């Protein structure tokens, strides 16, 4: 999420970030592959239970990359148009994939065993424009869509901040970080994004610290670390470890860039992999893991998950080439007009 839309590897590309994107998306996928089947106590299933950490990793990376993105635009309008074209077209494509799967299952089995479809006109609009849960109480059609609402909220905050001069922008974000420490967690509603904001600002602050202003960057980074802990009671150390590790890896790459490799190249497909792994591997192919032996035999479980992940990667590559890249190019064109 928030990644540069290009297949070419150049000297300005951070291959560590690309690698982390792919690993994070894959971990979230493996987490979901094993979440919808009965729990079995073994090392692999217990390890997969921690796959949700891919989400805070995405948020930290997104914050860092958003500052990179804002450095390449001249106006707030150009920034927000590019961001919207980055988020929405792949999201709409994933909705079409879900609808196609629902229709297919209805024809084959006689009933919809996949996603819960919106039942009212308002719910349809909420689904199309992404003001579903946790913005509102409208349910999502995909288990991962809730994070896109967070991402859009982050984009809106930076969009508004871009109307200010640089120093005032950093002051605003510091004030917002302090407010995040004080305001109670709101699971649904206008302030839903506060639990995820510290991770986003953690990445954003890292860019400020390395490239712009060390004082504001350090203040914002420390506040974001505190906010990350406060907003995730019970998981403080895990979220802090994720955020700190991502920041360290990005900084290390800044000092000694990682050369391109096959796994960092797969980072191009991470957003589509994130959006499509639930519809493809669970809604459509989930029956594969319905057999008890697939759930209780560790080796079969691992092999099945890797095969499902490979299928999703192949589909995601197509989505990246046919949907994401054209949308990114169109967004750049629209932003310049």
Return d(Cα 87, Cα 89) in angstroms, integer: 6
SS3 (DSSP) at 284: helix
Return d(Cα 240, Cα 90) in angstroms, integer: 30
For 177-188, the pLDDT digits (tens) are: 999 999 999 999
* Residue count (the chain): 337
Average pLDDT over residues 87-111: 95
Q: Which helix (H) or strand (E) segment is 188 a member of?
A: none
Interhelix angle 214-230/197-207, rounded to 10 degrees, is: 160
Q: Is the pLDDT of residue 6 over 70?
A: no
318, 133 contact by CB (below 8 A): no
Q: Return the pLDDT at 12.
A: 59
pTM: 0.93
Return d(Cα 307, Cα 313) in angstroms, integer: 10
Q: Return the pLDDT at 115.
A: 86
Return d(Cα 30, Cα 312) in angstroms, integer: 11
Q: Return the pLDDT at 116.
A: 86
For 19-51, the pLDDT digits (tens) are: 999 999 999 999 999 999 999 999 999 999 999
């Amino acid at each position: 999420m928030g990644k540069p839309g290009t297949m070419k590897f150049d000297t300005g590309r951070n291959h560590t970030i690309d690698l982390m994107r792919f690993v994070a998306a894959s971990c979230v996928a493996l987490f979901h592959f094993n979440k919808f089947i009965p729990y079995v106590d073994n090392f692999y299933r217990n390890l997969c239970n921690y796959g949700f950490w891919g989400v805070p990793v995405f948020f930290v990376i997104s914050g860092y990359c958003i500052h990179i993105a804002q450095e390449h635009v001249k106006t707030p309008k150009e920034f927000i148009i590019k961001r919207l074209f980055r988020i929405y077209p792949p999201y709409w494509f994933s909705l079409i994939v879900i609808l196609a799967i629902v229709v297919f299952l209805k024809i084959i089995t006689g009933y919809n065993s996949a996603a819960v479809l919106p039942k009212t006109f308002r719910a349809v609009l909420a689904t199309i424009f992404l003001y579903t849960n946790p913005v509102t109480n409208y349910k999502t059609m995909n288990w991962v869509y809730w994070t896109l609402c967070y991402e859009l909220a982050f984009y809106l905050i930076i969009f508004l901040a871009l109307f200010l001069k640089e120093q005032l922008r950093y002051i605003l974000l510091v004030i917002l970080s302090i407010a995040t420490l004080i305001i109670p967690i709101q699971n649904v509603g206008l302030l839903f994004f506060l639990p995820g904001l510290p991770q986003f600002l953690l990445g954003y602050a890292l860019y400020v610290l390395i490239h712009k202003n060390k004082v504001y960057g350090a203040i914002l980074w420390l506040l974001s670390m505190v906010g990350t802990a406060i907003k995730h009671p019970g998981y403080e150390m895990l979220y802090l470890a994720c955020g700190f590790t991502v920041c360290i890896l990005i900084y290390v790459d800044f000092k000694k860039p990682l050369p391109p490799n096959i796994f960092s190249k797969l980072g191009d497909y991470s957003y589509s992999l994130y959006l499509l792994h639930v519809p493809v591997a669970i809604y459509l192919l989930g029956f594969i893991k319905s057999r008890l032996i697939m759930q209780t035999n560790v080796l079969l479980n691992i092999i099945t998950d890797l095969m499902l992940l490979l299928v999703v990667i192949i589909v995601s590559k197509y989505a990246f080439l046919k949907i994401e890249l054209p949308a990114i190019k169109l967004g750049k064109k629209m932003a310049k007009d």
